[in-house]
Amino acid sequence: MKTLWFVHRDGSVLGPFSSDEVETNISNGSFGPDCLVWARGTNEWSPISQWKNLAQKLTASQKAADNRVWYCDSGSGHPAGPLTQNELADHLRGLNRWDIVTIWGTGLLKWLPLFEVPEVMDLVGISRRENPRAPLLGQVALTTVGSQTPAQVLPALTISIGGFGVKNGGGFNRGDKVQIAIKSREIAGTIHALGEVLYVSRMGDAGVRFIDISSEDKALIIEHVKRFHAGGSIAA
């Protein structure tokens, strides 16, 4: 699959670009050192100085993925497998819940929750099954419902109409209900919503799904995500 890149420059998102186009724009100075870069398969916006390393990692990851063998347990205790990468994606698309899924594949030391295996999350994201996601530069204020503790303000990672990811979410637990305020230069206005923490990874990244969000705020998210999914439609 051909990698398409997006570039964040002077507060605007540009792209998609092929790898050759990114390299050309770096060489001629159009993409300077203050730019950020993102492609599907990367976790967040990264300095453009890291672009070549990211491109090499994505290529190596794709080659390795083509030869990996996967097993998937959706809570039954009887894992499906062995599966190729494409078979795993098809299997996951057919499940009603992902929060109880654990997987194991070539190179993993043990079974892990689906949400702790980024390459599989990206694989499912590429399928556009439900909620395409996009990177987001901004901050998210999370307040646990019923708690007297002040809001935690965390860096945003990604967003979709179904929810979002943040860094440094280790202070939350799966199942926590949270009041949400999302601010980003990439989205007009502040998004307010009610959500539930779906997972907290060992690295501290957390995923939150929207429980209650206005149609107006959904529209803002849709417009943002569409920039990263050219030619695709995103349903509200």
Q: In the prediction, which pLDDT does 28 show? A: 96
C-alpha distances in Å from residue 155, one per residue of 110, 201, 234, 236:
29, 15, 25, 25
Token duo for residue 161: 């109409």
Q: In the prediction, which pLDDT does 20 show? A: 94
| pTM across the whole model | 0.73
Token duo for residue 152: 């935690």
What is the residue-level pLDDT of the chain in tens, covering all 236 positions? 678 999 999 888 898 999 999 999 999 999 999 999 999 878 789 999 999 999 998 888 777 767 789 999 998 889 999 998 889 988 998 888 887 899 999 888 899 988 778 778 766 654 444 567 899 999 999 999 998 889 999 999 999 999 999 999 999 998 999 999 999 999 988 999 999 998 888 888 999 999 999 999 999 999 998 888 754 444 44
In this structure, the number of other CB atoms found within 10 A of the CB of residue 36 comes to: 19
For 2, counting Cβ atoms within 10 Å of its Cβ (0-12 exposed, 13-18 middle, 19+ buried), the class is: exposed
C-alpha distances in Å from residue 150, one per residue of 85, 122, 144, 167, 197:
43, 33, 9, 18, 17
| Residues contacting 11, CB < 8 A, separation 6+ | 185, 186
Q: In the prediction, which pLDDT does 131 show? A: 67
Name the residue among 48, 59, 4 with its Cα closest to residue 25: 48
